[in-house]
Structure 1
Amino acid sequence: MKNLPILRSICLILLSAPLLTAQDRAGDLPSAFDLRTVGGVTPIKRQQGGTCWAHGTMAAIESNLLVSGVWKKIGDGDVPSLSEYHLDWWNGFNQHKNNDHPDAIKDRTGLNVHFGGDYRVSAAYISRGDGVVGVPLTDKKAIVMPALGIALDPSSYRVALGHIDPRYQRYYVRDIEWFTIGDNLENIDAIKRRVISQGAVGTAMAVNKGLMAKDFVHYQPLQHTSKPNHAIAIVGWDDDKVSADPDKKLPKPGCWLIKNSWGVERGDKGYYWISYYDKVCCRDPEMGAVSFRNVESMKYSHVYYHDYHGWRDTMKDVAKAFNLFTASANHRLSSLSFYTAADDVRYTAKIYSRFEKGELQGLRATKSGTIQRAGFHTVDLDAAVDVKKGETFIICLELSRGGQAFDRTSEIEVLLQPKGKAKQPAGPKGPNGGPIVISKANPGESFYHDGTAWRDLYEHRFDNPKWATFDKTANFCMKALIAK
């Protein structure tokens, strides 16, 4: 699929030599590896429309369920088949549904359904608890062709499947982490170890006929101008792989094994290779390598949040921030989620009861630790905190570096969208010509500490005058997860 929106306003701070997690450092690496040989991939699918980003996401999540052994314990069937089109319809960034802006269809703001998305869109959808879902196969909806190795998503492409349905199997991704390979491949081993230990890793490429060799080896030189336009999944590697095509020489040996979403009749039964030295794959800061790990059955009944669209920007100079919520029922708060914009971040999260006279009061719980990789993270409290209907509760988060992630009305460069006018959103455009996705905020929801006092983020004025019209739309990315 050729469409990937890349949000350039977000900067990840990735260290060349971060602290390594157990998954990143354990064991010697083989010169070649293939998840297919260990039962770590699901069948090739054939996407419809511009949904490669959803297929890249689900390929990685399905693989994690297999590699971690979770699917063997809880799965219904031989392999998971998660719904790309539930993500496609219900991600909240398109004109079909935006809870922050119910008039998205009327004023044509947001992305067109089936033509736009990226791994940050996926992360926002996952973090809200809207997905991931497995949709039961039925004779009416399933399009499964085992003889061709094709398993089209059983949910509908042309007509939206239901948002919430008790028949769905629901899953939650606890951690979504962004990697880059580094200018000199200094982080390549960390990516390889994630593939072995956590399954397929999402990434991107620039599809261009002139870049693919006859033996299905892709390489985009650094000087080539094509931008990322297709999302895929890494399922292995071969350090000695080269192309036999005399017209497509690689700078050096070494390629990633790629799972695509164009059916088994494309490439080598749906797979192909991308050089380690490709301009986009594992190098683009927004499209990664992106690891979806610690996938589990959904164990939360409710998620409190103000950041409907997740991580859209970062206040790099803010270390302390909080979100204030009012309980809609008697709930037991068991876990928290948030983003880190840098590697190797020490965090301290505290739960308070109220905010009065400029001070946080009524400390209920504290949780601290270190996050090794930039991205989305879920942490469990040492003991659950009970809140009663109508009571306020506060998540206060202090981060050692990178700043605080926040949501706001944002422009998205929809590089995954076809250039034809019929596919482009017809609504208002941002300063760079991209479609606008509207976020909503209210006074008294998110606060940051400026070194002297707590300030309401709703009243913050962003420095860039081009974004002035997007003031009063920001909220910090902190969520409270309620145990079932």
Structure 2
Amino acid sequence: MARHRSRIVWACVIATVFLGSVVSASDLETPATPRLAPMPADFIAYQQAGRPLTTSRDGWPLGLIPSPVDLSHLTGQRIFQDRAKAAPPASYDLRTLGRVPPIRNQNPCGTCWAFATSASIETTLLPGETLDISENNFKNTAGFDPDGCTGGGNHWMALAYLTRWSGPVAEADDPYNPYSDYSPPGLAPRKHIQETVIIPDRSGPLDNANIKQAVMDIGGVYTAMYWSDAAFNTTTDAYYFSGKAYPNHAVTIIGWNDAYDRNNFKTVPPGDGAFLIRNSWGTAFGDNGYFYISYYDANVATSLNVYTGIESVTNYSACYQYDPLGLTQMFGYFSTTAWAANIFTADASENLAAVSFYALSAGTTYDAYVYTNVGASPTSGTQAAHLQGTLANPGYYTLPLPSTVAVTAGTKFSVVIRVNTPGYNYPLALEMPVAGYSTTATANPGESFTSSTGTTWTDITTSYPNTNVCIKAFTASDEPPPPEHASLIAGHVASDATWWTRLTVVNTGLVTTDVDFLAFNEPGALVETWTLRNLAPNALFTCDVSTIFSSQALAQGLWVRMNHESELAGTLEFGTRDGTSYVTVPMFAAGSDEMIFPFVVQNDIYYTGITLINVGDAPATVWLDAYDENGNFLSRHTQYIGVSAKYVRLLASIFDGITPSLIRFITVTSSQPLVGFEIFGSFIDLGLAGMPAVYLGDSAKSAPAEGDSLSPTANYTVYYNSVPYPENFYTGITFSNLSTQPVNVLIELFDFSGTRLVQRYWPAAILPLQQITREIWVACGLAEADPDAAYMKVSATQPLLGFELSMRATGDPRDYLFDGLPGVHAGATDLVFPVVKIGTAWDINLLGFVNTAAVQTAFTVHYYSSNGSYLGYYANTIPARGKFLGYIDPTDPGSASIAWLLVESAQPIVGDLLFITEDWTRMSAYVGIP
């Protein structure tokens, strides 16, 4: 077919039908012979019988038909290995998580395949996004041979409809009407489907790990089954059919119960256990539309797939393609490796951004190329892009190019792929005419090519008329780019009778900027906005949030994004109005899809709270993995966080089936960028400590090795900058091994002059993900505190993660001081401190700077007022590897006007600010912001 943009419309052309793999002598390409994959037996039987759509004996509509695609070679293969961390729970139900839409009714049409597909997509989007998909549009515009209502369909037909961007269409745009084959033309899809995973059929009744992982991590799983009224127990809403039969119905798996009693079924299966099924026969059927099907059912859990790439329609502008009917046959050279290419003609001068194709085996490896200005051969032009990799799971994938490729209107370009499908000799996906199924497929010479070697190319239509290879190309979005602005994010914003929150931002850039304060509630809705006008360079703005947002908004668990057009640094302060709790946390400038909470504790004395915010542009699937102090994996929790939504939980309520006191740190992986922070407190004493989650990219920073250390190659470092008042405070530290192999950790303690007081290795290699938690003096091998100690440093040949917590407890809960700081991996030559505490209410405001270099460094502390006026400076030097500790004297003239500090240093330094109230009842600390 000709290339299409966005919505696809094509003429119904009757084409020659090819069912076998016979080729003529002209098709030979030395040394391999091209051939088509054998068709599955159920499809051949379907062709021969020409069976019409049937309903069950009791009148329930069915509608599943077989497809010519046979992927039985996948049976029993384990996929999702990158997601699986522990055994799934014994039972699971998407209904309890708010992840199922209302039950729908396909009656009387044979459109189960469309309803099962829609349910899979909708449950994947929920709870963060609700989309009611039009099954009517599937039914009427699929474009295959079977009649939309009476002819039936399957998941390959649904996937073709979706990946050509015909849908999904909203139900409101094309409501379900089983008695009409009309759908309004030109309806816009609400999503672009760019990826799906084909889940292998089971090898046996208990081979359910793939399905369970998909339901937990992604959403409802499309499955085929065989329906017989006689096999359904209407009393218990349980189904079990023991005989092999060709599937005739499609449903969606939304959960399971390993202990589901086998005696609930009409015929007792060999064991307990069942999948929870969402049907499409209305709420009058089963348990309000749901039922259980035994693990031992002979036909369920076949033709499985789940949608993993449900993207915004602004992701790409146009789709170049020749395969609107998608995959209808496989092709190869009786080898696991084959080459294929499509030559397209550019409709406009635009930029190619991505390509797509099918992976027909787990572990498919690929090379993909883009050539511009091509002639008759796919590789005759200029190679403009190349990407390669491995696709762990079988399915359909869209792969972004390393950089966009410009094409000129009217010129030809090609997409060339080499795929290797381990264990399968038909690596290429084709769209071709198949009798009774896809006879509307069309193709022209000069469009699609195949090769066994990538050097000699054959036009596929010379062997198989009206046939194309399934390769698409996508152009960069022509949506206008979002306004150019940066953001700061404050993750915890509350103000009521108990809590106060203060936001402070300083313009460290060179231009005056407005700052838009956007307040989002926990579900992700934008509830209020407020704009600060004309924040000048070096000026600071600080406010109690109750002065810019209403009490109604502040009661909704807000987080705030501050958009601006300069460079800003900021801090978030919050606490209780009775003065018993006070936290200072630097604001976030960006999110990350990988982070760690480095120190979490939940027991009878202490608690930890976790906050995660989705700052991406799509709903996030988030995996939280808990580990004990020895690096042992304990449990995984999968969480769905909507766009701009916030997830807040105490540690004790996150993970099921484990003792919370065993958890020492948590890793977070997400499909969208997140920001995160933790709150650490005591049930017995008063006070809070707050700390941002550590981004994995930050924790892997390395520093030059020091020539006089015990291990010159130990170039991953963590600095513990604050050792406040050793005679009054307990300081505990942690260090964790983030690598996949054991590592020796060098511990060093320095005084203020840079003299090394301690240099020792931890007695044993630290295991992968193991966390060592000790009082700082114990970690250094000392029997008691060293009053000369200034800071501690740990080093290793692999990435480390560190945290320090200082506390002072006198026995009076009102005199309980503690706060935590992240270990810092590298110094900076510029640090900003947006918040300083000067005045009679504050006794201590200690500035500490560690010189990370092996040479002396000069530094300057610049003082600024809130309006940006320069007030003065303090200059000094720090010895090599030494530390400066000082404070701002509140009795100095002009000190009351100081609002923020800029520290400049000739060598990289690590810095923090610690302040304690005048009555020594509250303390807080934060690290300088680079």
The bucket for the TM-score relative to the shorter chain is 0.7 to 0.9
| Superposition deviation, residue 247 in structure 1 | 3.8
What residue number does 2:55 align with? none
- The answer to whether 1:292 aligns with 2:307 is yes
Find 2:430's aligned residue among 370, 388, 406. Answer: 406
Q: Where does residue 168 of structure 2 map in the other structure?
A: 132
CA distance in 2 between partners of 1:208 and 1:19 (Å): 31
| Pairs within 5 Å for 1:13-412 | 13-14=73-74, 16-18=76-78, 20-23=80-83, 25-48=84-107, 49-66=109-126, 69=128, 71=129, 79-93=130-144, 110-115=145-150, 116-136=152-172, 153=175, 158-165=180-187, 168=188, 170-185=190-205, 187-214=207-234, 215-221=236-242, 224-245=243-264, 247-282=266-301, 284=302, 287=303, 289-299=304-314, 300-317=316-333, 319-356=338-375, 358=377, 359-401=379-421, 402=424, 403-411=427-435
Cα pair 2:62 2:248 within 8 Å, conserved? yes
Q: CA deviation at 1:202?
A: 0.4
Structure 1's 66 and 435: CA in aligned 2 closer, same or farther, altered over 3 A? closer
The code of the aligned residue for 1:302 comes to A
Please say if residues 42 and 62 of structure 1, whose CA atoms lie closer than 8 Å, have aligned partners that are also in contact.
yes
Residue pair 1:242, 1:250 contacting (<8 A) in 2 also: no
Look up the match of 1:443.
445
8 Å contact from structure 1 (residues 180, 187) kept in 2: no
**Matched residues in 1 for 2:142 and 2:356: separation?**
18
Q: Does 1:457 align with 2:460?
A: yes
Deviation at 1:360, TM superposition (A): 3.2
Q: Secondary structure at the match of 1:53?
A: helix
Structure 2 segments unaligned to the other structure (5+ residues):
1-60, 478-930
Deviation at 1:389, TM superposition (A): 1.0
1:321-354 CA distance string (max 9 Å, x none): 1000001112221121111111110111110014
The structure richer in helix per residue is: 1
Residues of 2 paired with 1:181 and 1:33: CA distance? 20
Provide Cα deviations, 1:3-50, integer angstroms capped at 9, x if missing partner: 112124533531644453433x13431100000011111110011311
The one-letter code of the counterpart of 2:332 is K
CA contact (8 A) 2:165 2:189 kept: no
CA contact (8 A) 1:320 1:397 kept: yes
The one-letter code sitting in structure 2 at the alignment partner of 1:179 is I
**Displacement, 1:199?**
0.6
Unmatched segments (≥5 aa) in structure 1? 72-78, 94-109, 142-152, 412-433, 461-470
Letter in 2 for 1:228: P
CA 1:163–1:26 in structure 2 vs 1: closer, same or farther (change >3 Å)? farther
Q: Deviations over 1:167-217 (max 9, x none)?
A: x56102222222234223574112101101101000011111121123121
2:468 corresponding residue in structure 1: 475
Q: Are the aligned partners of 2:370 and 2:383 in contact in 1 as well (CA < 8 Å)?
A: yes
**CA–CA distance in 1 between the matches of 2:224 and 2:417?**
32
| In structure 2, distance between residues paired with 1:293 and 1:57 | 13
The structure, 1 or 2, with the larger RCO (C-alpha pairs under 8 Å, 6+ apart) is: 1
Shift of 1:483: 2.6
Shift in CA distance, 263/9, structure 1 to aligned 2, threshold 3 Å: closer
Are the structure 2 counterparts of residues 154 and 438 from structure 1 closer, same or farther at C-alpha, using a change threshold of 3 Å? closer
> What is the one-letter code of the residue matched to 1:330?
S
* Contact 1:200/1:234 (8 A) holds in 2: yes
Counterpart CA distance in 2 for 1:64 and 1:55 is 14
Contact 2:237 2:292 survives alignment (8 Å): yes
1:315 and 1:260 mapped to 2: Cα distance? 35
Supply the distance in 2 between the matched residues of 1:123 and 1:364 (Cα, whole angstroms).
30
Quick one: distance in 2 between partners of 1:19 and 1:241?
A: 25
- For normalisation by structure 2, the TM-score amounts to 0.42
Partner Cα separation in structure 1 for residue 376 and residue 469 of structure 2: 21
Secondary structure, in 3 states, of the residue corresponding to 1:5?
coil
Q: Is 1:3 matched with 2:19?
A: no
- Whole-Å Cα distance in 2 between the matches of residues 440 and 324 of structure 1? 16
1:243/1:302 Cα in 2 relative to 1: closer, same or farther (>3 Å)?
A: same
| RMSD of equivalent CA atoms | 2.1
Distance 1:246 1:159, change over 3 A: closer
Q: Distance in 2 between matches of 1:117 and 1:479?
A: 23
Once the two structures are TM-superposed, the CA of residue 226 in structure 1 deviates from its matched residue by 3.4
Matched residue SS, 2:136:
helix
Identical counterparts, % of pairs? 29
2:179 & 2:389 partners in 1: Cα distance? 42
Instruction: Quote how far apart the aligned CAs of 1:244 are.
Output: 3.6
One-letter amino acid matched to 2:233: A
Q: CA deviation at 1:309?
A: 1.0
Q: Give 1:114 shift.
A: 1.4
Please, which moves more after superposition, 32-41 or 335-344? 335-344
For residues 455 and 295 of structure 1, what CA distance do their matches in structure 2 show? 34
Using the size of structure 1 for normalisation, the TM-score is 0.79
Q: Of Structure 1 and Structure 2, which has the larger fraction of its residues in strand?
A: 2
Q: Shift of residue 356 of structure 1?
A: 4.0
